[in-house]
Amino acid sequence: MAGTSTVSAIASARRAAVADRYAANALAVEWRYLSELESIVDEWRELAARALEPNIFYEPAFALPAAKIFGRDSGALLVWSGTSPRKLLGFFPARIEPRRYGLKLPVLVGWTHPYAPLGTPLVEREAAEPVVAAWLAHLADDPELPGLVLLPLLPTDGPFATALDAIVRRAQMPVADFNTHQRAQLVPDDDRLFYVERTLGQHRHKELRRYVRRLGDIGALLFTTATEQEPVAGAIEDFFTLESRGWKGDAGTAAVLDDDVHGFIAAAVAGLAAEGKVAINRIFIDGRAIAVTITLRSADTAWFWKIAYDEKFAQHSPGVVLTFAVTEDLVEDNTLLRTDSCATANHPMINHIWRERLTLSDRLIAVRPLTSFAAVRRLELLRNAAFAAAKAVRSQMHR
The domains of the chain are located at 22-182+359-398, 188-336
**What burial class does residue 140 get, using C-beta atoms within 10 Å of its C-beta: 0-12 exposed, 13-18 middle, 19+ buried?**
middle
Closest CA to 81 of 136, 25, 40: 25
Check: CB of residue 303 under 8 Å from CB of residue 296.
Answer: yes
> Which residues fall within 8 angstroms of residue 314, CB to CB, at 6 or more apart?
none
At 175-195, the pLDDT tens digits run: 999 999 999 999 997 777 788
pLDDT of residue 7: 41
What's the Rg (C-alpha) of the chain? Answer: 23
Asked whether the domain spanning 188-336 has the same topology as the one spanning 22-182+359-398, the reply is: yes
Taking residues 104-108, report their average pLDDT: 90
pLDDT of residue 372: 83
Check: CB of residue 348 under 8 Å from CB of residue 307.
Answer: no
Share of the chain above pLDDT 90, in %: 75
pLDDT tops 80 at residue 11:
no
Maximum average pLDDT range among 19-33, 326-340, 381-395: 326-340
Mean pLDDT, all residues of the chain: 90
pLDDT tops 70 at residue 392:
no
Taking residues 362-371, report their average pLDDT: 88
Taking residues 23-33, report their average pLDDT: 87
Does residue 188 have a cis peptide bond before it, meaning omega lies within 30 degrees of 0? no
pLDDT tops 70 at residue 104:
yes
Strand 278-285 with 221-226, pairing: antiparallel
Taking residues 368-382, report their average pLDDT: 82
SS (H, E, C) 185-217: EECCCCCCCCHHHHHHHHHHHHHHHHHHHHHHH
Q: Is pLDDT larger for residue 201 or for residue 326? A: 326
- Expressed in angstroms, the distance from the first to the final Cα of the chain is 61
Taking residues 55-75, report their average pLDDT: 97
pLDDT tops 80 at residue 374:
yes
Share of the chain above pLDDT 70, in %: 90
Taking residues 34-56, report their average pLDDT: 98
Taking residues 262-280, report their average pLDDT: 98
Count of CA atoms in the C-beta half-sphere (13 A) of 128: 19
pLDDT tops 80 at residue 354:
yes
pLDDT tops 80 at residue 399:
no
**What burial class does residue 386 get, using C-beta atoms within 10 Å of its C-beta: 0-12 exposed, 13-18 middle, 19+ buried?**
exposed
Check: CB of residue 397 under 8 Å from CB of residue 207.
Answer: no
* Confidence label for 20 from pLDDT (cuts 50, 70 and 90): low
CATH number of 188-336: 3.40.630
pLDDT tops 80 at residue 45:
yes
* Confidence label for 4 from pLDDT (cuts 50, 70 and 90): very low
Closest CA to 49 of 18, 92, 91, 93: 91
DSSP category for residue 120? P
Give the phi and the psi of residue 119 in degrees, each rounded to 5: -115, 25
pLDDT of residue 391: 67
Taking residues 74-100, report their average pLDDT: 94
Q: What is the C-alpha separation between 195 and 330, in angstroms, rounded?
A: 11
DSSP category for residue 272? H
DSSP 352-376: GT--EEEEEEEEEEESS--TTHHHH
* Confidence label for 8 from pLDDT (cuts 50, 70 and 90): very low
Q: What is the C-alpha separation between 246 and 311, in angstroms, rounded?
A: 6
pTM (2 decimals)? 0.90
* Confidence label for 21 from pLDDT (cuts 50, 70 and 90): low
Helices (H) and strands (E) in the chain, counts: 11, 13
Taking residues 293-318, report their average pLDDT: 96
Least confident of 89-93, 337-341, 378-382: 378-382
pLDDT of residue 1: 46
Q: What is the C-alpha separation between 8 and 12, in angstroms, rounded?
A: 6
pLDDT of residue 103: 80
Distances (CA, A) of 399 to 23, 212, 393, 395, 396: 55, 29, 10, 6, 5
Least confident of 4-8, 32-36, 94-98: 4-8
At 126-149, the pLDDT tens digits run: 999 999 999 999 999 999 999 999
Q: Is 69 helix (H, G, I), strand (E, B) or coil?
A: helix
At 200-239, the pLDDT tens digits run: 777 787 888 899 999 999 999 999 999 999 999 999 999 9
* CB count in 10 Å sphere of residue 32: 13
Which of 212-239 are b and which e, b meaning 16 or more Cβ less than 10 Å from the residue's Cβ? beebeeeeebeeeebbebeebeebbebb
Q: Could you say which of 3.40.630, 1.20.120, 2.40.50, 3.30.70 is the CATH number of the domain covering 22-182+359-398?
A: 3.40.630
Taking residues 57-82, report their average pLDDT: 97
